[in-house]
């Protein structure tokens, strides 16, 4: 059975500020690499979890999760510039993928192409959904997803009918992981000839941008869910700076 390979995560095995900094950076670089795999389906494999150790070793499967140890010099890593740290993470993720491809007979050309595209993108994570045309055929719009080492920014990009970009309007900032924003960005449309944005089932929550304004708006309409539930959904997808476990607990219990 083949699965979409949707995650390769490098786990930094110590707590504290260094672990946090490493994790946030690897999230961007690894996610960018995964995006450029274009939905590649690796036999039996949905995720690869990677421990940074002193030698390479493929430990095997737990369900569809493949565990790998990889050689990584943490001390040297922290002496490098920001750009070189990005390069080291990319090289490590790619080394893991090729190691697994050699062992399990995967198509290595897919991973080599992803590696090249990350370099071409200069490690910048910016993707857009498929453009949709307004009912009057005068404009197009798309959902833009931009990720950095802090958060993910979800925006609407407006274009004229010749695909010239008119402007980009931020809808909201979310957390890095797609689990927070992935569901809501799947539903997007023109609400009229001026407004485009995201919506939930029954359009109980709408987050939209307009060609005629420079800021987004959120609309809550109670139907199957009450106002508190919908406000809770909006809060869960919206980025907040969480500096401690206490902050996380308080955010989860609001």
Residue 86 lies in a domain: yes
**Residue that terminates a domain, selected from 73, 94, 120:** 120
**Contact between 125 and 36 (Cβ < 8 Å):** no
Q: Does the residue 253 lie in any domain?
A: no
Cα distances (Å, whole numbers) of residue 139 to 112, 180, 188, 194: 37, 29, 15, 9
For the chain, how many structural domains are there in total?
2
| Out of 69-78, 211-220, 224-233, least confident range | 224-233
Question: For position 225, what pLDDT does the model report?
Answer: 75
Q: What is the mean pLDDT of residues 75-100?
A: 97
115 and 162 both lie in a single domain: no
Q: Does 109 lie in the same domain as 160?
A: no
Of the three residues 104, 120, 136, the one that is the final residue of a domain is: 120
* Residue 49 and residue 81 in one domain: yes
Q: Is the pLDDT of residue 247 over 80?
A: no
In a domain, 254, yes or no: no
Q: Give 148-166 pLDDT, tens digit per residue.
A: 999 999 999 999 999 999 9
Are residue 112 and residue 161 in the same domain, yes or no? no
The verdict on 223 and 184 lying in the same domain is yes
- pLDDT at position 65: 95
Q: How far apart, in whole angstroms, are the C-alpha atoms of residue 138 and residue 148? A: 32
For residue 85, pLDDT over 60 is answered with yes
Q: Which domain holds residue 189?
A: 125-248
The domain boundary, picked from 120, 145, 168, lies at: 120
Q: Closest Cα partner for 217 from 225, 209, 228?
A: 209
CATH number of domain containing 106: 3.40.390
Structural domain contains residue 111: yes
pLDDT digits (tens, 9 = 90+) for 163-207: 999 999 999 999 998 999 999 999 999 999 999 999 998 899 999
User: Alpha carbon of 6 to those of 22, 77, 109, 172, 199: distances in Å?
Assistant: 20, 25, 17, 24, 25
**Mean of pLDDT values over 143-147:** 97
Give a yes or no: residue 130 inside a domain.
yes
In this prediction the pTM is: 0.90
């Amino acid at each position: 059975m083949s699965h979409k390979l949707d995650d390769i995560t490098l786990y930094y095995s110590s707590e504290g500020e260094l672990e946090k900094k490493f994790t946030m950076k690897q999230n961007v670089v690894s996610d960018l690499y995964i995006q450029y795999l274009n939905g590649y389906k690796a036999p039996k494999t949905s995720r690869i979890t990677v421990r940074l150790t002193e030698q390479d070793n493929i430990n095997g499967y737990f369900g569809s999760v493949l565990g790998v140890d990889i050689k990584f010099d943490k001390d040297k890593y922290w002496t490098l510039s920001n750009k070189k740290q990005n390069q080291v993470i990319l090289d490590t993720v790619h080394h893991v993928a090729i190691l697994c491809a050699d062992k399990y007979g995967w198509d290595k050309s897919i991973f080599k192409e992803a590696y090249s595209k990350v370099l071409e993108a200069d490690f910048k994570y910016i993707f857009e959904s498929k453009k949709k045309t307004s009912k009057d055929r005068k404009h197009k719009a798309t959902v833009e997803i931009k990720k950095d080492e802090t958060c993910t920014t979800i925006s609407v990009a407006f274009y004229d009918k010749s695909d010239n970009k008119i402007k980009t309007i931020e809808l909201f900032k979310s957390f890095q992981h797609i689990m927070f924003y992935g569901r809501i960005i799947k539903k997007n449309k023109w609400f009229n000839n001026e407004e485009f944005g995201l919506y939930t089932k029954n359009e109980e929550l709408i987050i939209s941008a307009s060609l005629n304004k420079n800021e987004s708006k959120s609309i809550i309409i109670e139907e199957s869910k009450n106002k508190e539930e919908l406000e809770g959904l909006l809060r869960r997808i919206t980025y907040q700076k969480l500096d401690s476990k206490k902050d996380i607990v308080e955010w989860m219990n609001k």
